[in-house]
Amino acid sequence: MLVVMKALATEEQVRAVCQKIEKLGYRAHPMPGATRTAIGITGNKGEVEQGTLEEMPGVQEVIAVSKPYKLVSRDVKEENTVITFSGTAATIGGPGLAIVAGPCAIESREQAFTVAERVHRAGAQFFRGGAYKPRTSPYSFQGLGEEGLRIMAEIRQQFGMKIITEAIDHESLDLVEEYADVIQIGARKPVLLKRGMSATLEEFLMAAEYILSEGNYNVALCERGVRTFADHTRNTLDLSLVPAVQRLSHLPILVDPSHGTGKRNKVTPLSRAAVAVGADGLMVEVHHQPDQALSDGPQSLFPDQFDELMTQVRQIAAVVGRTVPAIGVREPAAVSK
Amino acid sequence: MLVVMKALATEEQVRAVCQKIEKLGYRAHPMPGATRTAIGITGNKGEVEQGTLEEMPGVQEVIAVSKPYKLVSRDVKEENTVITFSGTAATIGGPGLAIVAGPCAIESREQAFTVAERVHRAGAQFFRGGAYKPRTSPYSFQGLGEEGLRIMAEIRQQFGMKIITEAIDHESLDLVEEYADVIQIGARKPVLLKRGMSATLEEFLMAAEYILSEGNYNVALCERGVRTFADHTRNTLDLSLVPAVQRLSHLPILVDPSHGTGKRNKVTPLSRAAVAVGADGLMVEVHHQPDQALSDGPQSLFPDQFDELMTQVRQIAAVVGRTVPAIGVREPAAVSK
Amino acid sequence: MLVVMKALATEEQVRAVCQKIEKLGYRAHPMPGATRTAIGITGNKGEVEQGTLEEMPGVQEVIAVSKPYKLVSRDVKEENTVITFSGTAATIGGPGLAIVAGPCAIESREQAFTVAERVHRAGAQFFRGGAYKPRTSPYSFQGLGEEGLRIMAEIRQQFGMKIITEAIDHESLDLVEEYADVIQIGARKPVLLKRGMSATLEEFLMAAEYILSEGNYNVALCERGVRTFADHTRNTLDLSLVPAVQRLSHLPILVDPSHGTGKRNKVTPLSRAAVAVGADGLMVEVHHQPDQALSDGPQSLFPDQFDELMTQVRQIAAVVGRTVPAIGVREPAAVSK
Amino acid sequence: MLVVMKALATEEQVRAVCQKIEKLGYRAHPMPGATRTAIGITGNKGEVEQGTLEEMPGVQEVIAVSKPYKLVSRDVKEENTVITFSGTAATIGGPGLAIVAGPCAIESREQAFTVAERVHRAGAQFFRGGAYKPRTSPYSFQGLGEEGLRIMAEIRQQFGMKIITEAIDHESLDLVEEYADVIQIGARKPVLLKRGMSATLEEFLMAAEYILSEGNYNVALCERGVRTFADHTRNTLDLSLVPAVQRLSHLPILVDPSHGTGKRNKVTPLSRAAVAVGADGLMVEVHHQPDQALSDGPQSLFPDQFDELMTQVRQIAAVVGRTVPAIGVREPAAVSK
């Protein structure tokens, strides 16, 4: 259910409607737009009685939302969500593409800094690296844990890149929240939500809806391949998801061609394709010695390949009306978190 | 890596080998078999040097295990794993089929007891019911939580059925461990591990390997459908997984045709097929008023349909050399946990 | 569109309605049922005006069929289709299961007769063998062509089994029609239609609808696996299709676990499961020297394994109210076609 | 098996090797390259004995080809295949992208000419249109047949565009060969081979191998989506196939985002992505009145949308070093077939 306020409704009127909703036992999600505010209603109790709210001052109409998700929908918020960060001009969802790069896992201070220096110089504004790795085999490298998080915090300090890393349970989440700028599942901070390998578009949007319904609206989505019979890549990267998400939702969507294909030689062509299809950013694995990587080496680019990828992506971004930071330009305000 | 002890090796020799393994920084998993003991070696450090162990008294040979999983493999343990429970003759993995039945979610004391009475009378030895429901939509019924667990504990007390329920995070896991007999993800108690909707056979076995490598060998697997293009059922039940698992692993495998198809009219034929293909048990949703169920109503059987299913399944079990408890027979020792 | 005649409608009235339909530029498909006749209307011109036919003598009602297929639907014909053959009591779709067995490809007279003798003795009423093999690689054995057809005609003569073989283009179809009893794609003779590896249920029924709409109602369907990400079998056998087809259509449906799994050790358990799920028959590959087979050796059963399969299948058939011919019993009328 | 000739081998030496191969009962496929000639050997008889050929004059080495396909492989021919046409500068596989556009089906002379005029003006060098339509339902429009072919021949005459159309059986193939420039399955003329909805990369290359092994080397491939669980598009367009094919094979590969997604609003973004990923061309459905189209209306672009698509594609082509004919430029030699 969605309450659309009049264009001239006062803040007080919006607040009154929200209080009424909460008093009825539901949760109110005011979402200010360019011309008017909409208030999403969520709750575990079925539909609220429409008449109750329709008569309140400042309310234009109360509409039922037919889709199973609400807060992620363009019906509720027409403008694109743009996630901003303190201390940097970089955004996720703005006109500039969000370029996320780094190794699959943080393996050592030296490895992390070597890669960070290179991807930063090539224009990446976000540094990715795993500290807790959910591996298929219990006998594989599981990540450095808190030490990995500490290394990434130093990288943020030195290069001004924002940090994206993955939490896998409650313990790791607490630590990750302490150190990272964007987390890949979660709570109050910006969240990068990865599509499950067998999630439909609707299920993916519903997973995001869970996070928004808890009051965290800073969610970016990430396509990273689905499971199919095709065996020439690890998963099948589903680029058609990008325009499909953008039609239905205001949330930004990135593409991860590294996990999506599992093969180094496919990463650059599919990064070009992802930008061409209209993605809001890329998430790419880079490693200076992929043959010695403790995880995902075969899909990690060499730093020189990442340079080349950025050059190509920059040109294609221009064609679709997006920008990418120039090579080696340190963003001015990129000092602290 | 696997240390195969001689048939006549003493317990002391086995213990000495285990201590040596631990001293080398690995973990030892002694697995007594019918004629000899094998000791699995796991650890995050790469391969142990073979010679070190081969020379120890009582060791017959040290063999490298080529598959990415070890402890779940028939190479390590040839005999079928049979999970037993105190206070009941029912097993998972033994000659008798494990019949698990109950509603998707515990909705009320009355609903749970009504269904429990019926499935118990029809021969089910295990009662399933969700207290914490991971739903696609945040606006759907999420389960009764601890109250649901308490209701199931009463059902165990009254009917002697063992309880199987699902934990979704650490908080719920603690509570679930307190109340349930089998949990669907986890720790020391028997674990029923559901196949992910896009998990390959190898990934499924690796997930089980995680649990065994933590020292919990009481794991049963459950096939419940995979994601495919086919749209006449919710997922596509992959019965070929049953003989495939049984060839590679000693762990028991159940089939859940309720989640696997999502349609009531497919549950009985596919339950018959699951027993015919050789599954070690069934997991079936039953509800006395499916039209009013708070979740998964359309795939829940009516109690009368479950009676009919049990009759058919009992006959097919006989053909494949398995048994199913007779209708209405309360197992003698089934008093308390 | 479907014209349902009154129970007491005369043959003349049925004929008059059919003539009217044809005169309107459509095609009429009279389908006599147990109590009344229904007449399906097909044609490339959109809907026929309802009133025109509703007023004719003997017509009870004219109903629109909402599904995209008509003639294959149970709405049009409630009774199961039973395909009969001259000179044998064996049927496809009757109470007795249709057991189709034989090698993937006819390789020589000796090979074919050796296998035929064994599967006939074990109870198979239909002999399968490929004369024209559509192989993935142009460098693989492509079949013996007409010579293979001639060998199968001799087998029919000697053992009284009916012959099922595959046509791949118009030239081969003409020859196949001359020699075979059932063809796997086609024209006037009974047709066994295999599900495409990526066909949905609706598409599969529509493919059958093509054949019925040409006036050939003797169509049996065959499930043989779909393409999924799962890699432990060649394709994923979708047994849930059997009850799904039986709900929507009157056509019989067989299961082919040989092609459906591609692995010998899966054929017997999945044959049991196919009968348990309610299939109308099995199609199984058998070869006396599978290691030397020119195609599909790894999925062919040894004759002894087929004997064992038949024993198990016979017991399960009894549970689901079906029969299978006893071992070694030559059916009385099985002399010639 | 592959015979690599020396760089200075004479034509006579090449001919002698081919004769020897044929004499041994195999088929020889000489493939001249930039610096040397390779001769592929195919045949139904197993491996040729290596020594026989290795000693012949002009032979540098004889190598076994480990992949199941040979003639389509880059091992046999390193240079890209470029398909040329008389009377036009347009190619498939050359530096210029091949732009194929037109309606799904030819419905009338007026419809075909209206669309042809628009796509020609926007820069398409190839006109697509179906005369024989393999439809899912027997009750759907099946195409105009020979009349459709005749209309397309007129379009070639008037606009100088080359004609691509589909043959579905032998009868239609004969007629199609008479009228079309490229056929979508087949014989001596250039062939556009569409990927089956569930074909793996290897199977797709093997299907092409069939055509090359018959002596027709003018084959272009076309990715058009695979069957997956994802339901936001009709099929899932698998753009990762493009770099995968280009790595293994010398054949050009086009992308068809119209069939690949089934939705008009996805065609333009995925056309951009297809060019960005490196495809050799596009195949796009255009219709001036899609709402009245007899087939595939919902996925057909309006001519104005095709103009816009071409503008975007032209810019992206430049980034990846490819060209697209300028708008409205009639290619000089485009007079007759």
Q: Are A238 and A225 in contact (CB under 8 A)?
A: yes
pLDDT of residue D25: 81
State whether residue B81 is helix, strand or coil. Answer: coil
Q: Are B217 and B33 in contact (CB under 8 A)?
A: no
Q: Are B193 and B221 in contact (CB under 8 A)?
A: yes
- The span from the CA of A144 to the CA of A133, in Å, is 9
Please give the mean pLDDT across all residues of chain D: 85
Q: Is the pLDDT of residue B251 over 70?
A: yes
Check CB contact under 8 Å for C198 and D203.
Answer: no
Q: Is the pLDDT of residue A214 over 80?
A: no
CB-based burial label for B35 (10 Å; 0-12, 13-18, 19+): exposed
Task: Give the residue from D300, D296, D209, D196 showing the smallest Cα distance to D250.
Answer: D209
Question: Quick one: average pLDDT of A8-17?
Answer: 92
Chain D contact set for A74 (CB, 8 A): none
Q: Are D334 and D161 in contact (CB under 8 A)?
A: yes
Question: Quick one: average pLDDT of D158-187?
Answer: 70
Task: Give the residue from B77, B73, B127 showing the smallest Cα distance to B98.
Answer: B127
Q: What one-character DSSP code corresponds to residue B223?
A: E
Q: Are D120 and D152 in contact (CB under 8 A)?
A: no
pLDDT digits (tens, 9 = 90+) for B288-328: 888 888 877 888 999 999 999 999 999 999 999 998 877 55
Candidates C139, C141, C169; nearest CB to D170 = C169
Question: Quick one: average pLDDT of B189-199?
Answer: 88
In this prediction, residue A188 has a pLDDT band, given cuts at 50, 70 and 90, of: low
In this prediction, residue D169 has a pLDDT band, given cuts at 50, 70 and 90, of: low
pLDDT of residue C186: 40
- In chain B, % of residues over pLDDT 70: 87
- DSSP β-ladder status, A182-183 and D37-42: unpaired
Question: Quick one: average pLDDT of B56-81?
Answer: 83
- DSSP β-ladder status, C253-255 and C281-285: parallel
pLDDT digits (tens, 9 = 90+) for C20-55: 988 888 888 888 777 778 888 877 455 666 677 888
pLDDT digits (tens, 9 = 90+) for D83-124: 998 888 899 998 899 999 999 999 999 999 999 999 999 889
Candidates A170, A203, A213; nearest CB to B169 = A170
pLDDT of residue A333: 41
Residue spans of beta strands (DSSP E) within chain B: 2-5, 27-32, 37-42, 59-63, 83-84, 91-92, 98-102, 126-128, 162-165, 182-183, 191-194, 219-223, 253-255, 281-285
Helices marked H in B24-166: 50-54, 109-122, 146-159
- Cβ neighbours of B95 (radius 10 Å): 12
Residue of D nearest to A244 (CA): D232
A227 to chain C, any CB pair closer than 8 A? The answer is yes
Collect all residues with Cβ–Cβ distance below 8 Å to B172 and sequence separation of at least 6.
B131, B132, B145
pLDDT of residue B182: 65
Q: Is the pLDDT of residue A64 over 80?
A: no
In this prediction, residue D18 has a pLDDT band, given cuts at 50, 70 and 90, of: very high
A-facing residues of B in 132-191 (CB < 8 A) are 136-139, 141-142, 169-170
Question: Quick one: average pLDDT of C257-263?
Answer: 93
Angle at C61 between CA C58 and CA C67, to 5 degrees: 135
Task: Give the residue from D335, D86, D89, D72 showing the smallest Cα distance to D220.
Answer: D72
Helix or strand holding residue C122 (H, E)? helix C109-122
Q: Is the pLDDT of residue A198 over 60?
A: yes
In this prediction, residue B232 has a pLDDT band, given cuts at 50, 70 and 90, of: very high
Helices marked H in D127-237: 146-159, 170-179, 201-213
Chain D contact set for C196 (CB, 8 A): 198
B70-74, C307-311, D4-8 — most confident range: C307-311
Q: A303 or D334: whose pLDDT is higher?
A: A303
**CB half-sphere exposure, B169, CA atoms < 13 A:** 11
Q: Are D286 and D117 in contact (CB under 8 A)?
A: no
Check CB contact under 8 Å for A136 and B227.
Answer: no
**b or e along D48-73 (b: 16 or more beta carbons within 10 Å of the residue's beta carbon)?**
beeeebeeeebbeebeeeeebbbbbb
Residue of C65, C136, C211 to mutate for D, most D C-beta atoms under 10 A: C136
Residue of C228, C240, C246, C277 to mutate for B, most B C-beta atoms under 10 A: C240
**b or e along A260-283 (b: 16 or more beta carbons within 10 Å of the residue's beta carbon)?**
bbbbbebbbbbbbbbbbbbbbbbb
Q: Is the pLDDT of residue A51 over 60?
A: yes
Q: Are C255 and B240 in contact (CB under 8 A)?
A: no
A258-262, B186-190, C164-168, D324-328 — most confident range: A258-262
- The span from the CA of C60 to the CA of C37, in Å, is 10
Q: Is the pLDDT of residue A183 over 80?
A: no
Q: D299 or C189: whose pLDDT is higher?
A: D299
CB-based burial label for B82 (10 Å; 0-12, 13-18, 19+): middle
- DSSP β-ladder status, C126-128 and D37-42: unpaired
Q: Is the pLDDT of residue D272 over 90?
A: yes
In this prediction, residue C188 has a pLDDT band, given cuts at 50, 70 and 90, of: low
- The span from the CA of C8 to the CA of D37, in Å, is 80
Q: Are B99 and B126 in contact (CB under 8 A)?
A: yes
Chain A contact set for C231 (CB, 8 A): 231
**CB half-sphere exposure, A323, CA atoms < 13 A:** 10
Q: D334 or B157: whose pLDDT is higher?
A: B157
pLDDT of residue D132: 83
- The span from the CA of C11 to the CA of B322, in Å, is 55
Q: Is the pLDDT of residue B15 over 90?
A: yes
Collect all residues with Cβ–Cβ distance below 8 Å to B68 and sequence separation of at least 6.
A136, A137, A139, B202, B206
- The span from the CA of B268 to the CA of B282, in Å, is 11
Model pTM above 0.90: no
Task: Delineate the domains of chain B, giving CATH numbers in brackets.
Answer: 2-63 (3.30.70.1140), 83-319 (3.20.20.70)
Task: Give me the helix-helix angle, D303-319 and D109-122, nearest 10°.
Answer: 30
- In chain C, % of residues over pLDDT 90: 48
pLDDT of residue A177: 67
In this prediction, residue B185 has a pLDDT band, given cuts at 50, 70 and 90, of: very low
The alpha-carbon gap from B244 to the nearest alpha carbon of chain C, in Å, equals 7
Give Cα B294 to chain centroid, integer Å.
Answer: 25
Chain B contact set for A203 (CB, 8 A): 136
Helices marked H in B169-302: 170-179, 201-213, 241-248, 257-261, 264-277
Please give the mean pLDDT across all residues of chain B: 85
Residue of C nearest to A236 (CA): C229
Q: Are D158 and D140 in contact (CB under 8 A)?
A: no
In this prediction, residue A162 has a pLDDT band, given cuts at 50, 70 and 90, of: very high
Q: CA of B319: how far to CAs of A29, B271, B306, C124, C259, in Å?
A: 59, 15, 20, 21, 25
Collect all residues with Cβ–Cβ distance below 8 Å to A168 and sequence separation of at least 6.
A132, A134
pLDDT digits (tens, 9 = 90+) for B220-230: 999 999 999 99
Q: Are B215 and B44 in contact (CB under 8 A)?
A: no
pLDDT digits (tens, 9 = 90+) for A107-135: 999 999 999 999 999 889 999 998 887 77
- The span from the CA of A6 to the CA of C302, in Å, is 78
Q: B257 or B180: whose pLDDT is higher?
A: B257
Question: Quick one: average pLDDT of B222-245?
Answer: 95
- DSSP β-ladder status, B98-102 and B2-5: unpaired
Check CB contact under 8 Å for A239 and D241.
Answer: no
Q: D118 or C168: whose pLDDT is higher?
A: D118
Question: Quick one: average pLDDT of D31-53?
Answer: 73
Please give the mean pLDDT across all residues of chain C: 85
- The span from the CA of C88 to the CA of C91, in Å, is 8
pLDDT of residue A332: 43
In this prediction, residue B333 has a pLDDT band, given cuts at 50, 70 and 90, of: very low
- In chain C, % of residues over pLDDT 70: 88
Q: Kindly state the tokens that stand for C226.
A: 């779909």
The amino acid present at D233, given as its one-letter code, is T
Q: Are B309 and B284 in contact (CB under 8 A)?
A: yes
Residue of D228, D229, D231, D238 to mutate for B, most B C-beta atoms under 10 A: D229
Q: Kindly state the tokens that stand for A100.
A: 């996320």
In this structure, what is the dihedral angle of CA atoms C275, C276, C279, C280, given to the nearest 10 degrees? 60
The alpha-carbon gap from B135 to the nearest alpha carbon of chain C, in Å, equals 24
pLDDT of residue A65: 67
Strand partners, B286: B301
